[in-house]
Copies of this chain bind each other. A is one copy, B any other.
């Protein structure tokens, strides 16, 4: 069969593809640590130094400052060099888990699923798979994100025991 040959006898030259990298990141603990930090700040802004938050999260202060920096860049918190403590820039009712998720770059480029590229376009499947699958996966991802958007930091705090 022609297609069989076309697919099996791959040209050896394909190794030229410089690998664009663009690696999708996993959903790291940055996300949960960020939520933790925001919960602390919402509760007790005055004491929220990097060291203090690190003491509650039980990690290194630099890890915390890195994450706080991302939250600051996203407009969620206020921090000033030299002066201790941090404060929310929005009401805790208005900061959702999705805001935090996005702020800490939980998923690269807003794509949770990574899809292989360079499929063989001489093959009916290779020709179509990327677009069709992308549509499906984007819908799945959207549902997840909608759920994240439904919970605010304030709602989270309200669920704490006592």
Contact = CB atoms under 8 A, between A and B. Distances in A.
Interface of A: 1, 3-4, 6-10, 14, 24-29, 31-33, 35-36, 39-40, 43, 47, 49, 51-52, 54-59, 97, 112-116, 118-120, 123-129, 132-133, 135-137, 139-141, 143-148, 151, 156, 159-161
A139 B97 CA distance: 13
Contact of A8 (B26, B36, B51, B116): B51
Nearest to A141: B144
Contacts of A140: 97, 144-145, 147-148
Given A6-B55, A55-B6, A115-B29, A43 B124 contact: yes
A128 B43 CA distance: 13
A26 B29 contact: no
Contacts of A137: 32
B47 A116 contact: no
A129 B55 contact: no
Q: Which of A8, A28, A31 has the largest count of B CB atoms less than 10 A from its CB?
A: A8
